Structure 1
Amino acid sequence: MRLRPIAALSAAAVSVLLLAGCAGSGDAESSPSPSGSSGAADACLIAASPGSDSDAVTVDEAGDTLSATVPSDLAFEQVERTVVTPGDGADLGVGDLVSAQYQVYDGASGELINDSTTTSASEDGRVPVLIDQTQLTMWVGAIECNPLGSTVVMTVPGSALGTEGSNYVVVARTFEELPTTATGQSVAPVEGMPEVALADDGEPTITVPDTAAPADLQIEVLKKGDGPTVAEGDQVTVQYKGVAWDTKEEFDSSWKRGAPAAFTTTGVYEGFGKAMVGQTVGSQVLVVMPPSMGDLNGALKGKTLVFVIDILGTQHAPTAATQ
């Protein structure tokens, strides 16, 4: 089974541009497959050092939001990355999930074109950022391989993105590591639904009953979190495992890949998306989806699918006012 990830969630078209000139990009049609090398400083997704451009950008970190002044004479000859304020945490690597803020500025005008606080689902204006090599956005490139808690400037020439003439400046800062399993309060199980047992690390084992599969979509909350509520169109960071009802065999799992995954609610199986919308961050959800809401054309076509989903973070889709 291949869930369908998106390249990025952003208020500007630039957000979907992968750093193809700096590192290999993922296939937008396949499931994310991070290496799980969390915190490995020698496994950086891009090679970027401080330079005259990134050093010249002035950042104001005061208060709850970032702001930056972008000089008009930057050369944009190569990708450069400067740590403005080093954090005191561990170096961030593939598979790490952190809370962060980021901004993207137009390199020519210095205009702010993307601000994560406009899509944050939290009162603090922060968003969850997963360092995922298959979704290498510019802000992921900025924060990876730097200590948690850092504020970073990265200058990106359009030539690195395949957009000649469109240069960008990214400012990002990270705050704290986020849980990679559901942290909500346990809820009494529903009779007749598949049973779920959790290993010490939180990985679920799903036991499907020896009964006929339900004909309609079934959603059960196993743990109730107290975080922000997932809205339609959100990008949601999750851990998940899926099994087929008839064979009882696992067909896909973020756990096996060693790191969470990020999807939009509209970019996955219909039943998977419906199971996330309206839930709160920190929740664990069990969903049984009929064939009409699952794999319509692939190897699992015609099968009832069962997923256990840990909802780790969410970021709202941009509104017209923030695009």
Structure 2
Amino acid sequence: MARGSPIPPMLRRKIVEQYQKGVSQRKIAKSLKLSSSTVHNIIQRFRESGTISVPKGQGRKTILDARDLRALRWYCITYSNATVMEIRTWAQEYFQKTLSVNTIHRAIRRCRLKLYRSKKKPYLNMIQKRRCFLWAKAHLKWTVAKWKTVLWSDESKFEVLFGKLGRHVIRTKEDKDNPSCYQCSVQKPESLMVWGCMSACGMGSLHIWKGTINAERYIQVLEQHLHPSRRRLFQGRPCIFQHDNASPHTASITSWLRSRRIRVLKWPACSPDLSPIENIWCIIKRKMRQRRPKTVEQLEACIRQEWDNIPIPKLEQLVSSVPRCLQMVIKRRGGATQW
């Protein structure tokens, strides 16, 4: 039993039954994994009153009653980004009571709420939301078969992971300055830039290099990998090429694609949640955190291995979810979706 939690009536009944059979209090406490004082108090109450129920009014009175909790729940839901200190300041002024941070934490749990780390999403202004909303409405009629003709592409940065990555460490209070309990970080770790493409038919080519990407390098990557990926994945069938509005994808890239007669999917700004290849990057980065390559060479080998291990049913599932993402964008009036 957790410390401070009430003893269930069934467990109190077992204690009394064993006591009536002549079992000692120490053996009862050991068999039921309870403290000796708890067993003694329940048996003493049974001797005096002949009942196992707890009398009303026992225990410490709560500082906030049910009405206060309803007001606190309303404030927490209305101002969901408020800190615990801000909630405490408001509660002390509203309830005219002296409250501690621990009291606020317990009250939030009693309101059936919990403090979570907020998800990071790209910032969208009103114009970008409007354009994303119109883009989703324009492509809502596309079928899953139509989305399977899209060749998705994107770039992502992978870093070599150093040291212990966990946010928590199990230690005593005195071990806070023990070097084994530190979380060490590197200021500028070695990294690789990765370009890749995929479709519902399978994984396309992968290009890895050091440094940043610019328009000239991006054209070289497309010249080397775009046409082989199209031929291998679509086998001569028409397809639509997709890339985002990153700065290297400038007007020179548009003219290069137009000269090769490559059909390009128009893409709204700041909308990575609509591209299935972003989920592929998340899967591979999660695998990298598990494998923890120590050098750049190991990192590149792991990326290529995990890239080839992505199953085709997973790709079909991600591409088939695009219509649902569009419906979510329309529902949120162009806002970020779950991804």
TM-score scaled by length of structure 2: 0.21
| Larger helix percent | 2
TM-score scaled by length of structure 1: 0.22
